[in-house]
Amino acid sequence: MTQGIRAQQREQTRQALVREGRRLFSALGYGSVGLSEIVRAAGVTKGALYHQFSGKADLFRAVLEQVQQEVAERIAETADVREDPWDQLVSGCRAFLTVSTDPAIQRIMLVDGPAVLGWSEWRAMNETTSGRHLAQVLGDLIAEGRIAAQPVEPLTHLLSGAMNEAALWLAASAGPGDLDATQAALVAMLEALRVR
């Protein structure tokens, strides 16, 4: 068997494990999913899993990276349609709240992510995806004088924390208008930053 075929098979195995791990983690939660269940769903052996990942937490990390990357891409796609940096900020923040109302994304990204990997690692992963985009647009708006001069990093963390908390609240809320009300409150909060 050639190197290329083996590499392709390893990648297919990895993709199957991530796909099935994601499906199971999102449906049942990290704590309720066993390795046996994951390998059975992926159609591979435990040895194949351990060849790809050091264990369940390592597989979960790969799933979380995938989810965070997808969320960041969806936010960027929504924001980047706008040319004006202020409109990018508002539409990107609104998009985050909309995307994070998906229960599978909430469970993996906001509930199990910090619990499984720990706050520091989870935060670092978030900063390399959607957090980076938020910091960039805030920095641009501060440089343009559209938001008062201030350090970008604390502002980024404050807004990110507020949006993460709002997403968790939305996960538990049952009101049909809660997303709209939360987005309106977020826009009002953002408007308070704006230099007139």
Q: Find out whether 137 and 152 touch, Cβ atoms under 8 Å.
A: no
Whether the per-residue pLDDT at 151 is higher than 80: the answer is: yes
Contact 133, 154 (CB under 8 A): no
What is the Cα–Cα distance from 20 to 76, expressed in whole angstroms?
Answer: 26
End-to-end Cα distance, the chain: 67
**What mean pLDDT comes out for the span 116-130?**
89
Q: Does residue 89 have a pLDDT over 90?
A: yes
Cβ neighbours, 10 Å, residue 96: 27
pLDDT in tens, 23-49: 999 999 999 999 999 999 999 999 999
**Sign (positive or negative) of CA dihedral 99, 102, 106, 108:** negative
pLDDT in tens, 133-150: 899 999 999 999 999 999
Distance CA 42, CA 120 (A): 30
Domains and CATH numbers, the chain: 1-53 (1.10.10.60), 56-192 (1.10.357.10)
Q: What is the model's pLDDT at position 1?
A: 55
